[in-house]
Every structure is written in structure tokens, then in C-alpha cells.
Structure 1
Amino acid sequence: MRNRPLRRLGLGHDDRMSSSSPPFPDHSARLVLQAHQVRGRDAAVRHLRRPHARALFVSATATGKTLVAIRIAEQLGARLSLAVVPTLDLAAQTALAWRKDGYLGHMRLILGSGHRISCDE
């Protein structure tokens, strides 16, 4: 089974969650956003509510980008989110942060080899 490593990390689908359950339940132990994170979240949410909007959230290292992304997805009622990270370690760290914050929805990690593939190969 390919999901086995994710299940060991506690990232497998929660079978208790029904299809009608929200992926972001009320969770009293969640971290509180700092002022700069609230401003970033609010600006991103305002922008992404516009039709056909896309965004790239840029912030310095260790400023809470993952937590802000979680809260943006929650505010928008997102059913699907994409986080692009350069390493497997950061992918696992990101997925664990979503779980720690109470996200119960499905998660999938898509990893590339870093090699380019041409049509001639």
C-alpha cells in the first residue's frame, strides 16, 4: 500500500469523518495568529475572493506561512489546496502542521524526481 509511510506519520484519512463533515472542525487548541499573519491572511482572502484570482503568498523564513495558508484555506471554505515545497521533509512538515491545526480532510503528496523528461526520451 503506497500510503503506508503517510499513515505512520498520522496523515492518513480519518475514517470517522463523513463526506458531509467540514475538513476544519472547531478546534479550541489552535494557535492564534500574530498581527502580521492576520494582515496577510485577510489580504490574501480579499484578493482570492475576486473571480479568477490567483495568488502567491511570500513571507520570510519562520514567519508562519504554513499556518497562514491553513487559515486562508479555511476562510475561503477551500475543498482543495496546493502547497508546493522543495523537499520531502518540508512536505511532511507541512502536512503535519495541517493535522496539528485540526484539518481532517484528505491529503495527497505529489513528489517529482527533479529530472526533466523530454519527448525524445
Structure 2
Amino acid sequence: MRHISNWTDLHGAVHACFEGRSGGHRWLLALPEAAGDAALDAALDALSTLDGKGRVDLVVFSDPAAVSAAAHELGARGVLLLEGEPAPDWEGLPLRRSPAAGAQAALERWLDEVPHGR
């Protein structure tokens, strides 16, 4: 996937948007700020080498409300949480968890499970 933009939301979370081939779905990759630089590097490496359709938005957050807001605002098909525990207000979100080092494999499995994912 190709990195296309960065921005900061009203919760102070940093977003990075990655775009693949046309079609597909929009996914959210959530990384707690406390996970550190090694986890961030692993997530960025996974996104830059991921081959699939659609978009993936990486959200590096300290306030869990940023993940819930982003999932709803972006219409994300699902949320992959790296290196953290789910927040109570995320109930109802299609959520999976993975260590940062396994982000690419986890995203690929998920893309393969849905129609038009890859």
C-alpha cells in the first residue's frame, strides 16, 4: 500500500492513511501511543508492504475515544488493535487484536476473509 496522508484529530491522535488498489474496504489499524517506536515501525513496515485493495488508516492514540470516533467517521470495515487492550466504548466494533510484529499477517488474513479484500 502507498502512504497518502497524515493528520491529527480532535482527540490528539495521529492518523496515517495508506491506499491500495481501487475497490475493497476501509480498515483501521489502532496502535496505543504507549506501545513505543518499535511497534510503530513494525506497523508502518506492515502497511508499506501490504498488497490489497482499499485503504488502511493507522491511528496512534492515547485517548481510546479516538479509535471509536475514527471507526465510525471513516466507515471502517474493522479495527485491528495492536499491542493493547480494547476499551469498553469499542463494544460493537468488529475488532481483532495482534502484536505489532504480526500486523501484516493479521491484515492479510482479514482481507482474505472478506469479499473483494485482496
TM-score computed with the length of structure 2 as normaliser: 0.33
More strand by share: 2
**Which protein, 1 or 2, shows the higher relative CO under an 8 Å CA cutoff with sep ≥ 6?**
1
TM-score computed with the length of structure 1 as normaliser: 0.33
